[in-house]
Amino acid sequence: MADPIRPRPVVLVLLLLGLAVRLWGLPRWGTFDTEVQKAWSARAAAEGVADIYGPPDAELLARARARGGALLPALASMPFPVTRFTWWGAGYFVDYPPGSVLILAAAGRLYRLVAPELPNGRGFNAAINVAPLLASLAIVALLRASKRGEAGWGRALAFWLSPAVVLAAPMLGYQDTIFASLALGAVLALGAGRPVAASALVVAAGLVKPQGALLLPTLAAVTLREARPAVWLRCALAALAAAALILAPWWTRGYLLSALDGCRRPLGQVTLAPLGLNVWWIAGYVREWALQGAWPAAPIVTIDAFREWAGWDPRPVARVLLGAATLANVWLLLRAPREQRWRIPLSVVLQVHAYALLATSVHENHTFLSVVLLPLLLGERPPARAALGAASAFLFASLFFAAGLGRRVTRLATIKAIRMWPVLDLSVAVAAAHVALLALLFVWAARRGPPLDASPDGVR
């Protein structure tokens, strides 16, 4: 039967409904991160991106040589100066990868066409949200193409109509759909036996958002198992080419080292679980209970404060736990039959939730990629619908308990009152449910058996 490209009328209505909601949400004020994104966007649009992270390479190399010893160790251990700037009375610096800066620079230039002074208003909010909207449309197209017939539209609508996705972008102004569209493309390419394209897309995703690194275990396992050594070299060259293209505005101007430092800045966060509902959020709650008394509100705890109370550093423990989960994930993928291509997106979903549950300094939006990839499993295995529903519910709860429906819509005091309504902080209960969700995902991945649809029309 021919593959219908045009949607049925009911599907078209649902697509237009999702688009209308997103267009209405474009000028929303989002979270405080929206202010940060606008500041970066304005700085990049007005003064360029070359020096937005820090000083030129020549200055950094001179500083490293002045420290003595070998050059590379000196660079690796040296604190890099940071470019600081002011926008609308507040100070900022950039601590996100260069791919995001390029996208925000484009948004600032777009807004500058209609508002040369770059005023901080709803128009700027909308400009910042244009790229995530376009990326959402790209995700819809990729999910639609991943399966023939009505099933493809079902996958696309599972993403497009998800309340968690709409809350993230545009209501709260997160940029995750941009990174997720690249990651989805990488997973589809890997499933179709195109590891070279997948490698380039994984690097591009990582240079937009650090969580792109979560695709690396699956990419490496599948590529090493299925491709010849000559293909490994082509994968490496494709990855380098993608990185060189994205970093070109910096290395061609002599600012590459500062840009690379920008990639590692997110690793320096000092909070234990900044609204990431995971085991460390629960640990912070236990500390608060011990210090403040029964039934407290779960706080954001710094790593130093937790270490002083507990007597041990949570970061090495988190690394061991995440490392063990990663090895288990890769082992489950490698022991499965190669023809079960649906296990590739499942492996990435597992890695996303393992990171979000076990790592420190996890944020509320860090499981977003799972709700983009889980639709690929619809029609492949029976648990897919339940897993997608659980992951979407967890993401929605995480976002809502962090920011409600966004600034100028929901007061933080209201969110806290909702959390504390049943006495036990609901965010802690959701964090405990996340433990169960990861366990169930591992149980699902450990099961053997053919997919529901073993034809070539499955995940491609």
| pLDDT computed for residue 245 by the predictor | 98
Q: For the CA atoms of 266, 135, 186, 345, what is the dihedral angle to 10 degrees?
A: 90
Helix/strand/coil for 3: coil
Closest to 139 (Cα-Cα) out of 193, 196, 179, 102: 179
pTM of the model: 0.95
- Residue 275 confidence (pLDDT) above 80: yes
Measured between alpha carbons, how far is 237 from 379 in angstroms, rounded to an integer? 35
pLDDT in tens, 408-450: 999 999 999 999 999 999 999 999 999 999 999 999 999 875 5
Distances (CA, A) of 67 to 61, 64, 74, 75: 10, 5, 7, 9
Does residue 456 surpass a pLDDT of 80? no
What's the pLDDT score for residue 449?
59
Rounded mean pLDDT of 140-166?
Answer: 96
Going from N- to C-terminal start, the domains of the chain cover 9-64+81-267, 269-446
Q: How far apart are CA 206 and CA 5, in angstroms?
A: 32
